[in-house]
Homo-oligomer: A and B are copies of this chain.
Amino acid sequence: MPSKRDDTFRILAPDGTVDEKAKEGLDLKEEDLRQMFRFMVLARKVDLECTALQRQGELAVYPPLIGQEAAQIGSAYALGDEDFIFPSYREMGAAIVRGVDLVDYMHFHRGTWHGGVRDPVGARFAMISVPVGSQMLHAVGWAMGTKFDGKEACAITYFGDGATSQGDFHEACNFAGVFKAPVVFFCQNNHWAISVPIEKQTAAPIWKKAEAYGFPGVRVDGNDVLAVYKVTREATERARAEGIPTLIEAVTYRLGPHSTADDATRYRTKEEVDRWHELDPLERYRQFLEAEGVADQSFVLEVEAEAEDVAATVRAGIQGAPPPPVEDLFKWVYSDVPPHLARQRDEALGLLEEGEDG
């Protein structure tokens, strides 16, 4: 369960009670509240759809985000249009908020294309990054460069609890502190790095690691979308206005397996997973919206129907989608096709033709 220690920021308790003091200054209109719910439901639906698509062989492998919707939607919703997201491989929820083309995105998991994002700079969403911890440095570099241009925008980079063990995490945070880079380090502590539990990953609370870099660290209930939104919003403002980075530890849980290739029963108990199912971020938020009269049953049904449609569109778009023509691969390596590569291309294409002929 998310630590009950008061160092964990929370607005919406699991039991539905609202901490009014914590809620103070929350700048969300009713439409925003509904929109965040819409995104969360959408993330959940598309996520389940993708797990199904993998089982049917339409995706090669897929890393489910189920359980982490509040952490991803709440944080991404707090961003400005110019802010840049540097994700790992589990941030489909953040991609949805950013409006990334989900069929493009799923090409990564289908094994038909490595990037998952067309024109990342335009999309303000970097390509999927699998080498754990590696993307944080790119976020810091982008943030430094954006500050050099005097632009008021910040970067946010997503990573897991396991990623905090990587040297790149440390180097990225240290550079951010030294150069006062406008960046938010958003850690989703979902308690597991494949089979390695957080206790075996590090001996200190993640949010405290910020101490080592001279900028604030915050622990937030990652299953409370309002709290996540608020701390991220504040972090982005600090970043843009004062060049103060923030390390956010969103305490949440990976309800699904590490990926569709993983058998989580080998290393964790059903009881543990069940306990966290009771803390489902969607359920908690839905109850809040209905209690506040911001949403009603019919709205919820409507939202779910919309989500079904989007999921169906994603399925339709990715099902049977072909890989790129082999010729294109040779065009993507360099800005030009150097002679040695042109030779290899010609050999490859020659073979393809034969294949077709014979």
Contacts and interface: CB of A to CB of B under 8 A. Distances in A.
Interface of A: 165-171, 174, 177-178, 200-204, 208-209, 211-215
Given A170-B171, A203-B213, A212-B212, 16 more contacts: A165-B171, A165-B174, A166-B171, A167-B168, A178-B202, A202-B213, A203-B214, A203-B215, A204-B212, A204-B213, A204-B214, A208-B211, A208-B212, A209-B211, A209-B212, A211-B212
How many monomers of this chain does the complex have? 2
Contacts of A169: 170
Nearest to A165: B174
B166 A178 contact: no
Contacts of A200: 178
Q: Secondary structure of the A side of the interface?
A: helix
25 contacts: A165-B171, A165-B174, A166-B167, A167-B167, A167-B168, A167-B170, A167-B171, A170-B170, A170-B171, A177-B204, A178-B200, A178-B201, A178-B202, A178-B203, A202-B213, A203-B214, A204-B211, A204-B212, A204-B213, A208-B211, A208-B212, A209-B211, A209-B212, A211-B211, A211-B212
A166 B208 CA distance: 19
Nearest to A204: B214
A343 B204 CA distance: 53
A22 B201 CA distance: 36
Nearest to A210: B212
Interface centre among A165, A169, A200, A212 (most CB of B within 10 A): A212
Nearest to A202: B174
A174 B204 CA distance: 9
Contacts of A214: 202-204
A217 B165 CA distance: 19
A226 to B, nearest CB: 29
Contacts of A215: 203
A204 to B, nearest CB: 4
Nearest to A208: B211
Contacts of A171: 165-167, 170
A246 to B, nearest CB: 13
A209 B174 CA distance: 11
A168 B165 CA distance: 10
A162 to B, nearest CB: 11
A5 to B, nearest CB: 15
Nearest to A201: B178
Contacts of A211: 204, 208-209, 211-212
Contacts of A203: 174, 177-178, 213-215
Contacts of A166: 167, 171
A168 B167 CA distance: 6
A195 to B, nearest CB: 15
Nearest to A199: B178
A211 B166 CA distance: 17
A206 to B, nearest CB: 9
Contacts of A213: 202-204
A153 to B, nearest CB: 21
A263 to B, nearest CB: 25
Contacts of A204: 177, 211-214
A201 B200 CA distance: 29
Contacts of A208: 211-212
